[in-house]
Amino acid sequence: MGQAAAFWIMAVVIVGAALAVVFLRNVFRAALLLILCFIGVAGIYITLSADFLAAVQILVYVGAISVLIILAVMMTRGGMQTGNPSNKLRIPAVIVGAALLGILIYAVTTSTWSISMQEPLTDTTAPLATQLFSENGYILPVLIGATLLLAAILGAIVITRENPGNKENKK
């Protein structure tokens, strides 16, 4: 009963916040509502008894990615005076989105899932660590992910750096 109430509250919060992100005219408020949407997704993870993933969601999305996005919103202020307009693709996008939603809901509701009768693990941190770091687990993808993060950090620094050639030209 409690799980059902939590799910419906989180679902309403997530969908409302996502619609606000898409349709609000103020970009900064859209970023704040995106954070609310991330918090709702963390709550959904808790109802699915994925406690470690909920903590990671709060840390990574609510803590780090939202700060990056708000920083970008503030640094690009003045780039768009007219707020958050939509382009000429509005009607095709509505058709594509509605069609995809209909197909997905049809596929989800008509297929039969092999639901397991076992209880889900309630303390997932130690089993996740075993899965990720054990000998026959996902240790190679973890290393590749670390390399990808390092490359992304270096790439972000290189891309955003002021071009020294331009500075000399200005002088």
Instruction: Annotate each residue in 99-128 with x if it binds other proteins (CB under 8 A) or - if it does not, as one string.
Output: -xx--xx--xx---xxxx-xxxx--x--xx
* Pairwise CA distance, residues 66 & 153, whole Å: 17
Least Å distance, CB 107 to other proteins, is 9
Residue list 52-81, contact with other proteins (CB under 8 A) = 52-53, 56-57, 60-61, 64-65, 68-69, 71-73, 75-76, 78-80
Of residues 113 and 168, the one with the C-beta less far from other proteins = 113
Mark out the alpha helices in 24-65 (DSSP H runs): 27-47, 51-57
DSSP structural state of residue 119: P
Q: Is 85 in the site for other proteins (CB under 8 A)?
A: yes
Residue 135 amino acid letter:
E
Least Å distance, CB 157 to other proteins, is 8
* Pairwise CA distance, residues 158 & 164, whole Å: 12
* Pairwise CA distance, residues 143 & 132, whole Å: 10
Residue list 3-32, contact with other proteins (CB under 8 A) = 3-4, 7, 11, 14-15, 18-19, 21-22, 27, 30-31
Residue 76 amino acid letter:
T
Least Å distance, CB 2 to other proteins, is 10
Q: Is 96 in the site for other proteins (CB under 8 A)?
A: yes
Of residues 117 and 171, the one with the C-beta less far from other proteins = 117
Query: For residues 17 and 43, is the Cβ–Cβ distance under 8 A?
Result: no
Q: Is 38 in the site for other proteins (CB under 8 A)?
A: yes
Pick the binder of other proteins from 9, 139, 143, 151 (CB under 8 A): 151
> Radius of gyration over alpha carbons of the chain, in Å?
21
Least Å distance, CB 164 to other proteins, is 14
Cβ count near 146 (within 10 Å): 10
* Pairwise CA distance, residues 21 & 13, whole Å: 12
